[in-house]
Amino acid sequence: MRGILCIFLILFSVFVHAQQTEIVDYKKVDAVVFFNQIRIDSTVYDSYETTFDILKKTDSIYLDAVNMKFKNVSLNGKKVLYKNEGNKLIIFNKFKPSQDNKLQFLFFASPKKAMYFVGWENEARNQIWTQGQGKYTSNWLPSIDDMNDKIEFDLTFAAPTDYKVISNGKLVLKNDTPSYILWKYDMQKPMASYLAAVVVGKYDEKVEVSKSGIPLKMYYYPEDSLKVTPTYRYTKTMFDFLEDEIGVAYPWQNYKQVPVHDFLYAGMENTSCTIFSDAFMIDETAFVDKNYVNVNAHELAHQWFGDLVTETSGTHHWLQEGFATYYALLAEKHVFGDDYYYWRLYEYVEELAAQDRAGASTALMNAKASSTTFYKKGAVVLHMLHEKVGDVAFKLAVKNYLNKYAFKNVETSNFITEVEKASNQDLSAFVTKWLQDKTFYYEEVIASLQRQSAYITEYLMVDCEAVNAKCDYYLTSGISDKAKSKIISQVPDKITSEVFKNSIKVRQTIAQNLSTIPFALKKEYESLLQDASYVTKEAALYNLWLNFPEDRSVYLDKTSSVIGLPNKNVRLLWLTLALVTPDYAVDQKNTYLKELIGYTSPVFNFEIRMQAFTFLDSLGIINQEIINHYKEAEQHHNWRLKKFAKAFFEKNNENLKITN
């Protein structure tokens, strides 16, 4: 199916400016979205109904609706005067305080943002998925761009029979017809409009059940059955932990996770339905290098912090991202241990300190703060607050905060007040210093980590640049892998054959840092090609190829079947090296080049494409197929790929001789 006609019809509630929440309270939306098999320029229509209360007298209310058309607009069963402003549907009436009003209409839309039709115009897998965070859901569904009104969304979708539809809430109806399947999802509780979501695609699913009885649905492409276990590892464990740690039951009917092609971010915490990048669908070997555990935990934590309680504005964004980052670390601490937790915090601290030194720090309660500030400083501040008030008071405060403001919107003061009550402490000085001051107090956080973690203390004490004589001892002693890796990165020339007997992570550090390989260590370094780490294999292949030209064919033969991470890191490097090794597989050069060029096509995710483009550029290879793929990338919905392609044309436009 090459095209898509997306007809929908919804009913829905909206408020854009905060003042509308004082006038109208949208309670529920019942919407039907129809995906037909005709064109990609997705027209949308169908029946729609929203229920709302009028709180104060007014002559108009509105919904956010971008570039839509409307028919049969009625209020409480009667035709009503309305105006379409292009980004709003305004309803005119002499409204008086009343309850359970119903607004109904048909609407037609061709979403250019927030709903992405992937693969329908090229060779990529066919999918439809949404990303509404911010103020974007109104591009595909009449809704409220302001997150301060929460609505119960009950969404129904009609899609072709060979596609699965996944959305917020519980699937309560699946009705098959000869040409399509009707999927009806029910939400029992309200949420902000930006959290409404849908995915249409071809998926299988694995289901586990939490300790509290919540179904945990993990979706995957049918061909990825062997990747399910390593990708979703610890999902149930972390879910059960977070329910216990937070002290508030998971607030939704189920929890679903769905990978999609060329997603805009790592993941998005749509209520009960996380959407994440399929670049995290990994095999067992890749788990060592780049796994989904942290993203999994982060988006899950958002189901409480962001979805259950939602910020009133960007000033309080840390209440969502800082909390999700912090509780993800606590979940990983439960899985991987204390040392892992303190190490990740230490990494955050170093990143924040670098931001501070660069003069780029902002206050945590600055609506224009960086992601690093909202996420990582937010997590560090919660760590410091947890230490200050103690475990009992902190947990009680979080529990009371969530229970008190469930399904509502919050400001920082709401949380701080609960902590003050639970701890019987005045936190005004803490708020000023850690939330309102742009300075990052590095020394105090490091002191906290050292008080709580001998692991971090050891790491900070080990410094081979200062105590060079002890390096050999450190590298073969019982100190932590992180401390050994620190030494290797400082003084790679101290590596001996004994150092290769360390763990896979230390060996990975050797591969990445020992770029000039002494002949005496050649055999040991060659053994890195056998490690169960694609990062190690990639670095080892490249460095061996550089250092020992006489054995290049041997190294290429040994790694000829290795693909690597989901971004095909090893395979792309291998193809490039095979092409520039003159005497290697001469009769296969054209095949290898065709394969490398093929990875620039939309079939593959943006990371693979960008790396393939980069390797081809380094080889000085350009042809019409590559240029066509660059042109497609320049119009792509993924901002990273689009930016990459635009930079290429800005740099090379005058030199490109090939034209359409």
Q: What pLDDT, on a 0 to 100 scale, did the predictor assign at position 652?
A: 86
Beta bridge partners of 199: 129, 166
Question: Residue 352 gets which letter from DSSP?
Answer: H
Please give the tally of structural domains in the chain. Answer: 4
Is 531 part of a structural domain of the chain?
Answer: no
Q: Looking at the structure, do residues 320 and 258 belong to the same domain, yes or no?
A: no
Q: Is 659 exposed, middle or buried (0-12, 13-18, 19+ CB in 10 A)?
A: exposed
Contact of 53 with 24, CB cutoff 8 Å: yes
* Sign of the alpha-carbon torsion through 354, 359, 363, 364: negative
Residue 8 pLDDT greater than 50, yes or no: no
Mean per-residue pLDDT, 613-641: 96
Q: What pLDDT, on a 0 to 100 scale, did the predictor assign at position 19?
A: 72
Q: Looking at the structure, do residues 190 and 313 belong to the same domain, yes or no?
A: no
Domain harbouring 402, CATH code:
1.10.390.10
Q: Percentage of the chain surpassing pLDDT 90?
A: 86
Q: 466 pLDDT band (50/70/90 cuts)?
A: low
Q: What pLDDT, on a 0 to 100 scale, did the predictor assign at position 121?
A: 80
Q: Percentage of the chain surpassing pLDDT 70?
A: 94
Is 535 part of a structural domain of the chain?
Answer: no
Place of tokens 């005004």: 428
Cα distances (Å, whole numbers) of residue 434 to 238, 329, 384, 445: 29, 20, 9, 11
Question: Residue 362 gets which letter from DSSP?
Answer: -
Residue 15 pLDDT greater than 70, yes or no: no
Distance CA 580, CA 377 (A): 45
Q: Looking at the structure, do residues 168 and 223 belong to the same domain, yes or no?
A: no
Question: Residue 516 gets which letter from DSSP?
Answer: S
Of 344-353, 459-468, 586-595, least confident by mean pLDDT is 459-468
Beta bridge partners of 64: 88, 143
Neighbours of 93 (CB within 10 A): 18
Q: 465 pLDDT band (50/70/90 cuts)?
A: low
Residue 654 pLDDT greater than 80, yes or no: no
Q: What pLDDT, on a 0 to 100 scale, did the predictor assign at position 45?
A: 59
Q: 444 pLDDT band (50/70/90 cuts)?
A: very high
Domain harbouring 44, CATH code:
2.60.40.1730
Of 16-20, 41-45, 96-100, 356-360, least confident by mean pLDDT is 41-45
Q: Looking at the structure, do residues 422 and 273 belong to the same domain, yes or no?
A: no
**Average of per-residue pLDDT values in the chain:** 93
Q: Looking at the structure, do residues 274 and 389 belong to the same domain, yes or no?
A: no
Q: Looking at the structure, do residues 242 and 359 belong to the same domain, yes or no?
A: no
**Residue 166 C-alpha from the chain's centroid:** 18
Q: 37 pLDDT band (50/70/90 cuts)?
A: low
Q: Looking at the structure, do residues 143 and 3 belong to the same domain, yes or no?
A: yes
Q: Looking at the structure, do residues 322 and 293 belong to the same domain, yes or no?
A: no
Place of tokens 């850690």: 434
Residues 6+ apart with CB under 8 A from 63: 12, 13, 14, 50, 88, 89, 138, 142, 143, 144
Residues 6+ apart with CB under 8 A from 620: none
Last residue in a domain, options 457, 481, 498: 457
Q: 463 pLDDT band (50/70/90 cuts)?
A: confident
> Domain span at residue 568?
563-660
Tokens matching residue 475: 């590298």
Q: What pLDDT, on a 0 to 100 scale, did the predictor assign at position 16?
A: 38
Mean per-residue pLDDT, 640-655: 89
Tokens matching residue 555: 């190294």
Q: 1 pLDDT band (50/70/90 cuts)?
A: very low
Q: 52 pLDDT band (50/70/90 cuts)?
A: very high
Is 291 part of a structural domain of the chain?
Answer: yes
Q: 3-class SS at 432?
A: helix
Is 515 part of a structural domain of the chain?
Answer: no
**Alpha-helix runs per DSSP H in 453-526:** 454-461, 471-475, 481-490, 504-513, 522-526
Is 500 part of a structural domain of the chain?
Answer: no
* Pick from 185, 154, 129: nearest CA to 26: 154
Distance CA 364, CA 601 (A): 41
Q: What pLDDT, on a 0 to 100 scale, did the predictor assign at position 44?
A: 52
Q: Looking at the structure, do residues 85 and 226 belong to the same domain, yes or no?
A: no
Q: 3-class SS at 496?
A: coil
Distance CA 18, CA 532 (A): 54
Residue 490 pLDDT greater than 70, yes or no: yes
State which H helix or E strand residue 121 sits in: none
Distance CA 323, CA 352 (A): 17
Residue 10 pLDDT greater than 50, yes or no: no
Residue type, 418: E
Neighbours of 569 (CB within 10 A): 23
Is 499 part of a structural domain of the chain?
Answer: no
Is 546 part of a structural domain of the chain?
Answer: no
Distance CA 354, CA 522 (A): 37
State which H helix or E strand residue 247 sits in: none
Mean per-residue pLDDT, 616-628: 96
Q: What pLDDT, on a 0 to 100 scale, did the predictor assign at position 467?
A: 59
Tokens matching residue 507: 């060996």
Q: 178 pLDDT band (50/70/90 cuts)?
A: confident
Q: What pLDDT, on a 0 to 100 scale, did the predictor assign at position 47?
A: 79
Last residue in a domain, options 133, 160, 195: 195
| Chain segment 284-335, per-residue pLDDT in tens | 999 999 999 999 999 999 999 999 999 999 999 999 999 999 999 999 999 9
Q: Looking at the structure, do residues 394 and 346 belong to the same domain, yes or no?
A: yes
Q: Looking at the structure, do residues 144 and 20 belong to the same domain, yes or no?
A: yes
Question: Residue 304 gets which letter from DSSP?
Answer: T
Q: Looking at the structure, do residues 163 and 289 belong to the same domain, yes or no?
A: no
* Pick from 103, 193, 113, 191: nearest CA to 146: 193
Is 255 part of a structural domain of the chain?
Answer: yes
Last residue in a domain, options 259, 288, 303: 303
Phi-psi label, residue 427: left if phi above 0, alpha if psi -120 to 50, beta otherwise: alpha
